[in-house]
Structure 1
Amino acid sequence: MISHLRHSLAAAAVLAGLFASAPVQAQQKSEIALSRQPGIFYMPSHIMEKRKLIEKHATALGVPSVTTKWITFSGGGAQTDALLAGGVDILNTGTGNLLLLWDRTRGGVKGIVATSAQPMTLISRDPNIKSIKDFGPADKIAVPTVKVSTQAIVLQIAAAEAFGADQWSKLDANTVQLGHPDAYAALSNPKHEVHNHFSIPPFTFLELKNVPGAHVVLNSPDVMGGPLSQAQFFTTTKFADANPKIIQAVRDATKEAQDLIRSDTRQAVEIYKEITGDKTSVEELLDLLKEPGMMEWNLEPQGTMKFAAHLFRTGTLKTQPKAWTDYYLPVAHDLKGN
């Protein structure tokens, strides 16, 4: 995994030079490739896909020939690799990946809008682990991407609070890379070496319901002091400059999808199930969305500056943003983000 991370950062560094020196090609694309991860965090994207909302709003903006292709990756590392390689145009993934690429490309990657800020939950099936201080060297914690995923970074912030600011990386060695479906499968297998998962919905609720002994160790709002954007759309500034109406269409489509989730939650859940194949019943998912923090569907980034401050303090970011608007495109600057 470390070599994978170094490869990604090296690629980002090379691209930083390209973004700085290459002139923008004013050529609007007709097929847009977008990627996301598994989980109900990404429900706005499922609605956008089903209802062709980007296509709808692009047409309204005078770009009628746009089509979209949606790709699901198991983790943010694979997504960022795909963006840097040109395999996808727009990502829907975590705050950590956005900040890392913004930093490494010297502003060549920026956010469009946020999509969700539901809680993440560190779950364990080990009865001896009741708090973050109970993890020993052999206790593995599944996260989507080690060190740079949103879950991995929230774990660092929690470690700094529990053990002292200079101990922020104390649990990095415990983390292993597993996509959320694979991590759920690992916790469900009593013989698997991974007993802990920094989980997202619906896997959080499936684990607590179905895995014997599964219990909550901590929640992200307790660590962050409030909601943290778990998913946002972001892209290269080169793509954004060449496709301004597509960027606006993504914002407008995201808002329409979020509005549907709030106004007709049942229909939104049915679309989510159709697109993802999630076997959880509609009623269970509706109950899930009634849990605290589960209806945080907002365009504005939430909690990202605290996140960025930690990454700069630990040396992961080389540049300290002065405001969240530094790493978001102008299309979002009217929002009340943080």
Structure 2
Amino acid sequence: MTPHRHPTPASRSARLRRLATALAGAACLVLTTALPAAAEGTIRIAEQFGLGYLPLQILRDRNLIEQHGKAQGIDVKVEWAQLSGGAAMNDALLSDSIDLAAGGVGPLLTVWDRTKGSANVRAIAALNSLPAFLTTNNPAVRSLKDFTDKDRIALPAVKVSVQARILQIAAEQAFGAGKHDALDRLTVALPHPDATAALLSGASEITGHLSSPPFQYLQLKDPKIHKVFSSYDVLGGPHTANLVWAKESFRTQNPKTYRAFLDALAEAVALIQRNPEAAVDAYRAQNKGDLDRDFVLSLLKDPDIRYTLAPERVEQFASFMHKVGAIRNKPASWKDVFFPDLHGEAGS
């Protein structure tokens, strides 16, 4: 009998790099040119990378929008695209290349502020509340003050992503009032799969990464990677990470398609809460990376990772962004940023 061999740190690191590379290889940019605005019965949705977008992946895997369209008496054609970063999402939405954008709180607030009184972009629903970890392969870095000009911190988009705003809030806490941009010069825009591969390789300028599940947990399996902070510590508790948003015109001109999407999204979130095993199967079917089923299931059962339509701490993000001049308009409450469908929820 061949004895079982435990993986060495080097072999484990190599395998993790292969996993990250596989995830990166699955990433594709679908949009190249603006298309005519969708008619009732057609919906074009763009998502990003990671477990935060699991509800959308379940919609696709189970054809839930199409099913709920039939309940509305229409045949819905769904077109999917994948982009990286909130700036790309908002550019695609405002150019009418897509109808629904999905991303972080920062990009949502940016486009809400930018289009207030014109396109009136607002959130349809939150997708989750989950933490973002700042991880590093630099053993000398134990706090934000330990980063130097030799370090580079990867974000899905600089300045506008939810990770960028979390880093700025943390920087202000570490360096003092008015120092929110103290680390902006070290940030680099990279999709999460690419940043994970770079961090794990140790052969890149990237020494830090502020990411999301599953990437941060994948990184922490490597003994050379450690966590600097969790966004839950920075924000004082759980917060919405990802949402989905649209122009007001899409909602008003396509009421049945809009309702089919929202009902399908509610069903997907309920499925994750009720049956995480089925949710894992949908995730693995839609993501071709070699992620272990038990590993993904352990994340869905982590109490820090929650899927919910109601937002958490969106007002806190908005207050910070208004204070530092990132948005001109400060919402009176989270409801100003959301379409009325969820106003009965206990959000914040």
Length-normalised TM-score, structure 2: 0.86
The counterpart of 1:65, out of the listed 48, 72, 75, is 75
Which whole-Å CA distance do the structure 2 matches of 1:285 and 1:61 have between them? 34
Q: Tell me if 1:318 matches 2:328.
A: yes
Which whole-Å CA distance do the structure 2 matches of 1:225 and 1:28 have between them? 43
Which whole-Å CA distance do the structure 2 matches of 1:223 and 1:278 have between them? 31
Q: Deviations over 1:145-181 (max 9, x none)?
A: 0000000000001111111121011111111000000
Decide whether the 8 Å contact of 1:248 with 1:331 is kept in 2. no
Secondary structure of the 1:167 match is: coil
Map 1:86-97 → 2, pairs under 5 A: 86-97=96-107
Map 1:247-262 → 2, pairs under 5 A: 247-262=258-273
Which whole-Å CA distance do the structure 2 matches of 1:244 and 1:231 have between them? 23
2:183 aligned residue? 171
2:7 aligned residue? none
Which whole-Å CA distance do the structure 1 matches of 2:269 and 2:318 have between them? 25
Map 1:83-232 → 2, pairs under 5 A: 83-107=93-117, 108-210=120-222, 212-232=223-243
Q: Deviations over 1:58-87 (max 9, x none)?
A: 22123x221111111122222111111111
Matched residue type, 1:275: Q
Pairwise CA distance, 1:203: 0.6
Q: Tell me if 1:299 matches 2:309.
A: yes
The counterpart of 1:270, out of the listed 281, 295, 298, is 281
1:30 aligned residue? 41
Which whole-Å CA distance do the structure 2 matches of 1:185 and 1:172 have between them? 22
Please, which moves more after superposition, 27-36 or 237-246? Answer: 27-36
Which whole-Å CA distance do the structure 2 matches of 1:292 and 1:246 have between them? 33
Identity, % of aligned positions: 39
Which whole-Å CA distance do the structure 2 matches of 1:292 and 1:162 have between them? 27
Which whole-Å CA distance do the structure 2 matches of 1:316 and 1:75 have between them? 17
Which whole-Å CA distance do the structure 1 matches of 2:163 and 2:262 have between them? 25
Which whole-Å CA distance do the structure 2 matches of 1:333 and 1:292 have between them? 25
2:20 aligned residue? none
Which whole-Å CA distance do the structure 2 matches of 1:111 and 1:163 have between them? 32
Please, which moves more after superposition, 125-134 or 246-255? Answer: 246-255
Which whole-Å CA distance do the structure 2 matches of 1:309 and 1:145 have between them? 20
Pairwise CA distance, 1:127: 0.3
Secondary structure of the 1:112 match is: strand
Which whole-Å CA distance do the structure 2 matches of 1:231 and 1:305 have between them? 14
Secondary structure of the 2:134 match is: strand
Figure out how many residues of one structure are paired with residues of the other and give that number.
310
Please, which moves more after superposition, 319-328 or 283-292? Answer: 283-292
Decide whether the 8 Å contact of 2:134 with 2:211 is kept in 1. yes
2:16 aligned residue? none
Secondary structure of the 1:322 match is: coil
Pairwise CA distance, 1:28: 4.4
Q: Structure 1: give runs of 5+ residues left out of the alignment.
A: 1-24
Q: Deviations over 1:180-201 (max 9, x none)?
A: 0000011021210101000211
2:340 aligned residue? 330
Q: Structure 2: give runs of 5+ residues left out of the alignment.
A: 1-36
State the superposition RMSD in angstroms: 1.4
Pairwise CA distance, 1:278: 2.7
Matched residue type, 2:41: S
Secondary structure of the 2:290 match is: coil
Decide whether the 8 Å contact of 1:33 with 1:89 is kept in 2. yes
1:53 aligned residue? 64
Decide whether the 8 Å contact of 1:112 with 1:247 is kept in 2. no
Matched residue type, 2:101: L
Q: Deviations over 1:12-71 (max 9, x none)?
A: xxxxxxxxxxxxx9x942221101101011111011011111122222123x22111111
Secondary structure of the 2:122 match is: strand
Q: Deviations over 1:246-275 (max 9, x none)?
A: 222222111111111122111111111111
Pairwise CA distance, 1:314: 0.3
Which whole-Å CA distance do the structure 2 matches of 1:249 and 1:95 have between them? 24
Matched residue type, 1:216: K
Decide whether the 8 Å contact of 1:100 with 1:317 is kept in 2. yes
Pairwise CA distance, 1:316: 0.6
Which whole-Å CA distance do the structure 2 matches of 1:124 and 1:224 have between them? 20
